[in-house]
């Protein structure tokens, strides 16, 4: 039977979680790296700076997840773009992303008390690209990956204001995805509570903090 845990053993801060919490964390993330450590473990790097370890145990396997995001890095999170078929026209996806960018920019500008700037721009450019024209630098919403699974995007926000804007967007504009988004945010926050600054998933070969089971993966 599988056991699901959050937190890196290197920091001795590991807590057991449910399968549902595990699914909320990893659903829709892209695989960006794989590591084979022989009989000890297999590691899978996921978008959004998440590492997933498969560890042998006396009763089966342990699925261990932890964040490798440093404190100074942009905040990473995932957002469902709505139910769509597995294959869709490119224009449909482009329209979804354009709508996401526009709504995000509006929320960001309003939350930072720039209603006047937004109004003036729309009066001159009613069909303009608000995101590109009025947001720049750390304000821009960044995308790391996009994968099928209700079409989920891994996004990055470089500032707390940008994170607040995308959270408001997800919970108000997309009410059908509100509960799922909040559960995912809670899972990611819980995971980050287990770790403050692990850094990148590169190990020196010293695995003394990993659980010792005496088992091997065949």
In angstroms, the CA 75 to CA 148 distance is: 22
Is 211 among the domain residues?
no
CB 163 within 8 A of CB 83: no
Is 150 among the domain residues?
yes
Tens digits of residue pLDDT in 138-149: 888 888 788 876
Over range 63-80, report the average pLDDT: 79
Lowest mean pLDDT among 21-35, 74-88, 134-148, 192-206: 192-206
Whole-number average pLDDT of the chain: 76
Is 84 among the domain residues?
yes
CB 28 within 8 A of CB 149: yes
Q: How many domains does the chain have?
A: 1
Q: Which domain, by its residues, includes 105? A: 75-192
Is 99 among the domain residues?
yes
């Amino acid at each position: 039977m599988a056991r699901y845990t959050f937190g890196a053993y290197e920091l001795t801060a590991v807590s057991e979680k449910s399968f549902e919490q595990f699914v909320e964390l990893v659903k829709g993330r892209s695989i960006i790296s794989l590591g084979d450590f022989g009989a000890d473990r297999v590691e899978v790097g996921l978008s959004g700076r998440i590492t997933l370890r498969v560890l042998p145990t006396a009763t089966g396997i342990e699925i261990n997840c932890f964040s490798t995001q440093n404190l100074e890095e942009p905040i990473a999170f995932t957002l469902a773009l709505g139910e769509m078929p597995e294959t869709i026209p490119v224009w449909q996806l482009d329209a979804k992303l354009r709508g996401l960018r526009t709504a995000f920019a509006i929320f960001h500008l309003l939350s930072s008390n720039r209603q006047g700037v937004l109004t003036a721009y729309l009066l001159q450019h009613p069909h303009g690209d608000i995101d590109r024209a009025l947001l720049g630098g750390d304000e821009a919403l960044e995308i790391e990956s996009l994968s099928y699974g209700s079409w989920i995007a891994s996004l990055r926000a470089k500032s707390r204001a940008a994170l607040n804007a995308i959270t408001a967007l997800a919970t108000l504009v997309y009410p059908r995805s509100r509960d799922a988004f909040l559960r995912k945010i809670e899972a990611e926050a819980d995971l980050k509570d287990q770790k403050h600054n692990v850094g990148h998933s590169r190990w020196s070969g010293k695995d003394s903090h990993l659980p010792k089971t005496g088992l091997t993966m065949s």
